[in-house]
Amino acid sequence: MSDALLQLRNAVIDGRVKELEALTSAALSAGLTPKEILDNGLVQGMQVVGSEFKEGKKFVPEVLFSARAMQVSLNILKPLLAQTGTKMVGKVVIGTVKGDLHDIGKNLVGMMMEGAGFEVVDLGRDVAPEKFVEVVRRENADILALSALLTTTMRAMDQTIKMLKEANVRDAVKVMVGGAPVTADFALKIGADSYGSTAADAAEIAKKLIHAS
Amino acid sequence: MRVNYQTNVTPRLRVLSEDQIEQIVYEAMDVLQQTGTRVYEEEALTLLRGAGCVIDGENLVHIPAWLIEASIQSAPSRVLLGGRDREKRIALEKNRIYFGTGSDCPFLTDPCTSERRRYTKEDIYRAAKITEALPQIDFHMSLGLTSDVPVGTYDRHQLLAMLRGTTKPLVITAIDREGLADQLEMACAVVGGVDEWRKLPLFAVYVEPTSPLDNSREAVEKLLFAAEKNIPLIYTPCPICGATGPATMAGNLVQGLAECLAGLVISQLKRKGAAVIIGGVMSILDMTTTVLSYGAPELPLLSAAMTNIAQYLGLPVFSTAGCSDAKTFDQQAAIESTLSIAFAALSGANLIHDVGYLESGLNGSYDMLVMSNEIISGVKRILCGVPVDAEHLALEAIRRVGPGGHYLMDEHTMKHFRNEFWVPELLDRSNWDTWQSRGGKTLKMRVHDKVLDLIEHYAPPPIPEKTERELEKIVARADEAHRAEEVTQP
Ligand code: B12
């Protein structure tokens, strides 16, 4: 591995957010292609972070800083990647459903997905089904991620999926649901594509959903 | 004559010094004045503006220190609650401790099938019934959130089920202002009118700001209604260290206190003298699992510190204990429950809630509740301390028995052992053979036997028929008004 890539990879692993801009520019100047930087530097760094997290060696804030570090680099690479026709992993629209104000779990899911290379559009909390449908369509999203923390707001997930159908966008987007009172059974019942019980799960599942489609 | 003699009648716990408390209080004032807090409710904004707060944009409120101090002054330091049985009264005042359940868990472990499933109205009734039967549980919260009644009126259904199950004081939750109004009407029907309510309210309402530093419209509407109608208000957040609050304990206390005080100020502006109880569920985000930990040692630590602060301010306090991150009722549940109960009791907190929570607040467990009743009882024994006086120093008995004798048949033993020794009900101290001959049951099994026995055989005093009909009418009226709303059972 070239020196520049190794430095990038390590900076991502350590979550040294401030250094990523300079390191990315240096790597580009050294003649590395955006795709090489992404695949052999950033993604490899995040893979190390991911497995260390699973082993209990790294903790959530460290993972989030690594994800942020990768984002800094990605922001530089994105336009260049687009020029060469390389596709990003995918686009996610995320939010907490109508009537529900719990948002920290949803925030974590969003950040973990960013760490996995997704572009994430976060609509915040207390989001109406209509709003989800509108943004999914406008953004041409690959995945819609819905969070609910209340038994009483879970039905808004159901309503959102129904509304996606009515608007004829259900087939164009994968829907994943989660949040403390949500279960895999419930996800199945309302016709969601997937359910995840933690933010780490969520990122893995999202990747699978994308590859399956 | 013995001089400079001090007694310590009960053991004490103090987490913060007075200087540290003052510093935290001042920093909380700084947060409210400098950073500010968001309020998404018009009437409250008008009140705050009128009282001299600076409002940035539409809803970022900066509260001056004097207004906070005046609000602390005008709120009562003592709040009374009384159950359906008007003799079951609790006085929330400095250093008086009361234990109770938590509210609204989505799941329970079915007592018969052991399946993890969603709460129903019948389960809510059973939880209340179990509280009624347990001497150490002083007040009741629903423990679960029922999933088999209309979504828009579940709070009224739950109150009715709770009233049927227990005659003890309640802490309720409400969907919105209208739900709170209906529940007040129900309570007045039980106690015999508004004046009786004002003398001795039947419940306090639990309302939460959204950490960090947000006050939703729904929460503030309930707050204003409570202030107006003499409903004791618990306005307490769940700031999660490292997620919705600072990672450091002191920082989390500053923010949590600021969130309570913002609610206190609004309530005092609505009606001077309105009863407000501060405190909260204060713990950490477990940075491996992303769970808000109900079993972490930081929870009892933060809760005790918050109690120190509330006592300093002269406000009643809502605290947390008897809860766990364990998925089922097991050894972990016992350890975590014991730790937090001991700490909360020692700290002198008033309403100590969430007794019975498993799975970080997702499973409202009868078994955990029944076992915690025993833990509380044991902890209270410790809190009685060591009385030291001539009778208890027992010099005469020691002389009487003398070297080599024994105390088994001494009159001093006879006189004192019943009062000095705590007798467990569920914890087993028998020897191996006896234990074996009684079926060799573990604590878990003995607790569960008691749960099943209570469910099957315990009958709480019924609500008078006429009152019951009035209550049903109010619930039916609410159902009717919300009939159009769709109900999907999860
Ligand atoms: C903190 C908290 C609050 C805070 C929220 C602040 C905020 N900024 O978010 C406040 C105080 C505002 C609050 C309010 C209320 N709360 Co609350 N709250 C909690 C609490 C204690 C912790 C939630 C949390 O933040 N956990 C930490 C995060 C990181 O975990 P998480 O949200 O579960 O998310 C993880 C996973 O679920 C998953 N995930 C989440 N979303 C998604 C989405 C997808 C697509 C995927 C794949 C995965 C996924 O990944 C996340 C990260 O790993 C829970 C108890 C609990 N154990 O859940 C109660 C709880 C959820 N609340 C509850 C209740 C009842 C309420 C209130 C109604 C109380 C009231 N009567 O006023 C109000 C409702 C307000 C409203 N309209 O929403 C109940 C719900 C009961 C039920 N049966 O539905 C709970 C279970 C507590 C209880 N037992 O009473 N609450």
- Can you list the domains of chain A with their CATH numbers? 3-83 (1.10.1240.10), 91-212 (3.40.50.280)
- Greatest C-alpha distance within chain B: 83
Contact B463, B84 (CB under 8 A): yes
Residue A86: Cβ-neighbour burial (10 angstroms; 0-12, 13-18, 19+): middle
Query: With 90 as the cut, is the pLDDT of residue A212 above it?
Result: no
**Chain B residue with Cα closest to A102:** B210
Q: How far is the CA of A153 from the centre of ligand 1 (A)?
A: 11
Instruction: Give a yes or no: residue B479 inside a domain.
Output: no
Interface mutation vs chain B, best among A98, A151, A177, most B CBs within 10 Å: A151
Residue with tokens 């003649």: A31
- Ligand 1 midpoint to CA B339 (Å): 24
The three-state (H, E, C) secondary structure of chain A, written as one string = CCHHHHHHHHHHHHCCHHHHHHHHHHHHHCCCCHHHHHHHHHHHHHHHHHHHHHCCCCCHHHHHHHHHHHHHHHHHHHHHHHHCCCCCCCEEEEEEECCCCCCHHHHHHHHHHHHCCCEEEECCCCECHHHHHHHHHHHCCCEEEEECCCCCCCHHHHHHHHHHHHCCCHHHCEEEEECCCCCHHHHHHCCCCEECCCHHHHHHHHHHHHHHC
> Where in the sequence is the domain holding B323, given as residue range(s)?
73-383
Q: Would you state the pLDDT for residue B476?
A: 97
* Nearest Cα residue to atom 30 of ligand 1: A105
Residue B322 CA to its chain's centroid (Å): 10
Please state the ipTM of this predicted complex: 0.91
In this prediction, residue A117 carries a pLDDT of: 86
Q: How far is the CA of B145 from the centre of ligand 1 (A)?
A: 13
Residue B84 is assigned to a structural domain of this protein? yes
Q: Does the beta-carbon distance from A152 to B145 stay under 8 Å? A: yes
pLDDT for position B7: 83
Predicted confidence pLDDT, tens digits, chain B (490 residues): 888 888 888 888 999 999 999 999 999 999 999 999 999 999 999 999 999 999 999 999 999 999 999 999 999 999 999 999 999 999 999 999 999 999 999 999 999 999 999 999 999 999 999 999 999 999 999 999 999 998 899 999 999 999 999 999 999 999 999 999 999 999 999 999 999 999 999 999 999 999 999 999 999 999 999 999 999 999 999 999 999 999 999 999 999 999 999 999 999 999 999 999 999 999 999 999 999 999 999 999 999 999 999 999 999 999 999 999 999 999 999 999 999 999 999 999 999 999 999 999 999 999 999 999 999 999 999 999 999 999 999 999 999 999 999 999 999 999 999 999 999 999 999 999 999 999 999 999 999 999 999 999 999 999 999 999 999 999 999 999 998 775 555 5
At which residue do the structure tokens 């991502």 appear? A12
Chain B residues within 8 angstroms (CB to CB) of chain A: 106-107, 118, 145, 147, 151, 154, 175, 210, 216, 240, 242-244, 285, 287-290, 362, 486-488, 490
Within a 10 A sphere around the Cβ of B84, how many other Cβ atoms? 24
Residue with CA nearest ligand 1 atom 20: B292
**Chain A interface, mutation test: which of B288, B294, B327, most A Cβ atoms within 10 Å?**
B288
Does residue A202 carry a pLDDT above 90? yes
* CB contact (8 A) between residue A60 and residue B287: yes
Contacts of B393 (CB under 8 A, 6+ apart): none
Instruction: Enumerate the H helices of B115-248 as residue ranges.
Output: 121-133, 154-165, 177-191, 194-199, 217-228
Is B374 domain-assigned?
A: yes
- Atom 61, ligand 1: residue with shortest CA distance: A149
Output the pLDDT for position B481. 92
Q: How many A from CA of A69 to the centre of ligand 1? A: 28
Cross-chain residue pair B290–A59, CB shorter than 8 Å: no
Cβ pair A181:B107 closer than 8 A: yes
Q: For residue B487, report the distance from its CA to the centre of ligand 1, in Å.
A: 21
* pLDDT at A115 (0 to 100): 87
Chain A contacts to B (CB-CB under 8 A)? 56, 59-61, 101, 104-105, 108, 150-152, 154-155, 158-159, 180-181, 186, 198-199
- In Å, what is the CA distance from B117 to each residue of A150, A177, B288? 15, 19, 26
B169 upstream amide cis, omega within 30 of 0: no
Q: How many CB atoms lie within 10 A of CB A30?
A: 12
- List, as own/partner pairs, every contact residues B407-416 make where C-beta atoms lie below 8 angstroms and the sequence separation is at least 24, other chains included: B416/B392
pTM reported for the whole predicted model: 0.95
What per-residue confidence (pLDDT) applies to B413?
A: 97
Q: Long-range contact list for B153-156, CB < 8 A, 24+ apart?
A: B153/B179, B153/B475, B153/B478, B153/B479, B153/B482, B154/A152, B155/B179, B155/B180, B155/B182, B155/B183, B156/B182, B156/B183, B156/B186, B156/B474, B156/B475, B156/B478
Assess if residue B143 is contained within a domain.
yes
B140-184: per-residue pLDDT in tens? 999 999 999 988 999 999 999 999 999 999 999 999 999 999 999
Do the beta carbons of residue B75 and residue B268 sit within 8 Å?
A: yes
CATH of the domain at B358: 3.20.20.480
**A16 burial via Cβ count (<10 Å: 0-12, 13-18, 19+):** middle
Q: How far is CA B404 from CA A207, B316, B412, B417, B435, in A?
A: 78, 53, 17, 21, 32
Closest ligand 1 atom, residue A102 Cα: 9
Ligand 1 pocket test target in B101, B145, B208, B368 with most atoms within 8 Å of CB: B208
Tokens 């490899």 belong to A44
Closest to B261 in 3D by CA, of B279, B241, B243: B279
- CA A184, distance to chain mean position in Å, is 20
Residue B473 lies in a domain: no
pLDDT at B181: 98
3-state percent helix, strand, coil for chain B, nearest multiple of 5: 50, 15, 40
Q: What phi, psi does B80 have (nearest 5°)?
A: -105, 140
CB pairs under 8 A between A and B: 46
Question: Do the Cβ atoms of B467 and B192 come closer than 8 Å?
Answer: no
Contacts with A73 (C-beta within 8 Å, 6 or more apart), sequence order: A8, A12, A20, A21, A23, A24, A37, A41, A42
Domain assignment of residue B292, yes or no: yes
d(CA A49, CA A44): 9
Residue B10 has what pLDDT? Answer: 87
Would you say B342 and B299 are in contact if contact means Cβ atoms under 8 Å apart?
no
Q: Which residue of B has its CA nearest to A182?
A: B490
Of A54, A64, A94, A102, the residue with max ligand 1 atoms within 8 A of its CB, to mutate for a pocket test, comes to A102
What is the tens place of the pLDDT at every residue in A48-67? 998 999 899 999 999 999 99
- Is residue B271 domain-resident? yes
**Site of tokens 């609500």:** B463
Residues framing ligand 1 (Cβ under 6 A): A 99-106, 108-109, 145-147, 149-151, 176-181, 196, 198-199, 202; B 103-106, 145, 173, 207-208, 210-211, 218, 237-238, 240, 244, 290, 292, 360-362
Q: How many domains does chain B have?
A: 1
- Taking a C-beta distance cutoff of 8 angstroms, is the pair B294, B339 a contact? no
- pLDDT value, residue B489: 54
Shortest-distance Cα residue to atom 42 of ligand 1: A178
CA distance B335 to B275: 35
In B182-331, DSSP assigns E strands to 203-207, 214-215, 233-235, 240-241, 276-279, 283-284, 317-320
Ligand 1: atom nearest CA of B237 is 11
Distance (Å, rounded) from C-alpha B127 to C-alpha B120?
11
Dihedrals phi, psi of A112, to nearest 5 degrees: -65, -35
Amino acid letter, residue A21: E
Q: Do A61 and B287 make contact, defined as CB atoms within 8 angstroms?
A: yes
> Per the domain annotation, does B39 fall within a domain?
no
Q: Does A60 contact B106 at a Cβ distance shorter than 8 Å?
A: no
Q: What are phi and psi of B233, to 5 degrees?
A: -115, 125
Instruction: Convert the pLDDT of each residue in B300-317 to its tens digit.
Output: 999 999 999 999 999 999
